[in-house]
Structure 1
């Protein structure tokens, strides 16, 4: 009975079936572990992506705010430039002082400044001492 070919063949077939089942179960378990590791990695990547997305949104909001502030500064600069030009046109005495300062920067002496800008000696000396430093 134990040595009958049918029994031996059945035993070998059962043993091969068990080995095949064990190999299949091992492969399935290994693939499950890989799947779990990939799922953990995907969750971490999703968190990282969400964090980067939040940072980008914050940077975009800051950039928009900065752009608005720069635009306001340009408008303020333009208004101040216009006001400065209006004041320069309204104040002929200021023109003389501007001209005298340019002359000092170009190296004019005190007599030239006094005569060209119709300025008293004390004022010419003061301009020279202030702007030649």
Structure 2
């Protein structure tokens, strides 16, 4: 009975089945471990992506704030330029003093300053005293 061909074939089939089942189970376990590792990696990548997204949003908000501040500074600069031009037009005497100051810095003497800027000697002397120190 033990040596009958049908029994031997059944035993071989049983052993092959058990081996196949064990190999399939091992492969399934390995696949499960890989799947778990990939799931952990995916969660970590999601956290990293979310962190980067938050940083980008913060940078965008800061950039908008800086852009608004730069725009405000340009408006203030334009306003100050207009005020400066208005003052220059309203104060022709200031132009003469600016010109006289430049002449002093370039080394002009008192007579040149008085003649070019139409100012009295006392004012010319004062400018020379102030700006040649």
TM-based fold match above 0.5: yes
After TM superposition, the runs of 4+ consecutive aligned structure 1 residues lying more than 6 A away are none
**TM-score of the aligned structures, taking structure 2 as reference length:** 0.89
Between the aligned partners of 1:47 and 1:60, the Cα distance in structure 2 is 20
Conserved in 2, the CA contact under 8 Å of 1:113 and 1:124?
no
1:33-84 C-alpha deviation (Å, 9 max, x unpaired): 1111111111110110011001000100100000000000000001001101
When the two chains are superposed, the root-mean-square deviation of aligned CA atoms in Å is 1.4
2:126 paired residue number: 122
Paired position in structure 1 for 2:59: 59
Gaps of 5+ in 1: none
Q: Which runs of 5+ in 2 are unaligned?
A: none
Q: What's the secondary structure of 1:120's corresponding residue?
A: helix
SS of equivalent residue, structure 2 residue 36: helix
Does structure 2 retain, via aligned residues, the 8 Å contact 1:104–1:128? yes
Cα deviation digits, residues 5-46 of structure 1 (max 9, x gap): 111111111000000000001111101111111111111101
Q: Distance in 2 between matches of 1:42 and 1:86?
A: 65
Aligned residue pairs: how many?
Answer: 128
